[in-house]
Amino acid sequence: MRYLVLFFVLLGVLFGHAQKRQVIVDADTGNEVDDLYALVRILLEPTVEVTALNAAHWQTSHWTEPRSMENSHRLNQQLLGELGLEVKTLRGAMARMYDWGDRAQHSAAAYEIIKQAKTNEQVTILALGALTNVASAVFIEPEIAKKLHVYWLGTTMDFDSGVLKRNDFNPMMDPFALDYLLDSEVALSIMPVSVAVAMEIAYKELSREIGNYDIGRFLLKRWDGHLDGSRKSRVLWDLALVAAYINPNFAETERITTSRDSGKRPITFYKSIDANAIYQDFYNTLLSFEKE
């Protein structure tokens, strides 16, 4: 009987591992405060396996630093150390795609996307910043486009008029990359910033909820040390996208066919989110990790 029980336990472990959703995460971690919070949530999710953690640039921003991608790469590795996890980390593009000719930014991150797309039926990518790494991969190997499903934070969508605007931060970091993917066969699920803005939270509230955890203090230190660390509240944008991917019940989506200048094709847009549920889920995740 003991061996039979052990057999079923092992079977359950193996079956559970096989059922994990595999994702590549592409993050401009050095840019804002919110990336680290989003990464903690996805890395600690037991139903998801992060197969690669790619660093994205934010070189086009007026507030950038000389080596923005390298800073993101460093922070990605630092976070994994804080969590005690081993995940493949890769450097992405140093800047936006080129203006003509071979417009792709050839990077380890882009080639990792290509590699996974060539060996899997579908590859899911959570993109938290510029789309340079993803678009470059498709530019290099166009045939992988139909295998990719990209979840991305960016744009503003007016759901009443159907007007999509692309003048917020992430699209502006690489406008051509977004245009290229809109015109491609890549499946897109987009979290507009006009929806993610519901994630605004006060520092006092966040500190009260996570300040007693080691990883919580690490995250709060990122807020404190940022160039605008004195802010009393901020929006944890990327956490909205990651949480909605993990728990679809936290969000409402709408399938919209975009205009001709935005690909003229159906794209899934997040229409609303339950910010309170997302934050409670985040707090519970940190609590569970602390108890391990």
CA-to-CA distance for 181 and 176, rounded, in angstroms?
A: 9
Q: Which amino acid is at 259?
A: S
Domain boundaries, the chain: 21-291
264: left (phi over 0), alpha (psi -120 to 50) or beta: left
What are the tokens at 77? 């590795």
Architecture of the domain whose range is 21-291: Alpha-Beta Complex (3.90)
Determine the pLDDT at residue 2.
39
Tell me, yes or no, if the pTM score tops 0.85: yes
From first to last of the 292 residues of the chain, give the pLDDT tens digit.
Answer: 434 433 444 444 454 445 899 999 999 999 999 999 999 999 999 999 999 999 999 999 999 999 999 999 999 999 999 999 999 999 999 999 999 999 999 999 999 999 999 999 999 999 999 999 999 999 999 999 999 999 999 999 999 998 999 999 999 999 999 999 999 999 999 999 999 999 999 999 999 999 999 999 999 999 999 988 899 999 999 999 999 999 999 999 999 999 999 999 999 999 999 999 999 999 999 999 998 7
Check if the beta carbon of residue 106 is closer than 8 Å to that of residue 140. yes
- Helical H segments across the chain, by residue range: 2-18, 34-43, 68-83, 108-119, 132-140, 169-173, 175-182, 193-196, 203-210, 214-225, 237-246, 275-291
Check if the beta carbon of residue 129 is closer than 8 Å to that of residue 119. no
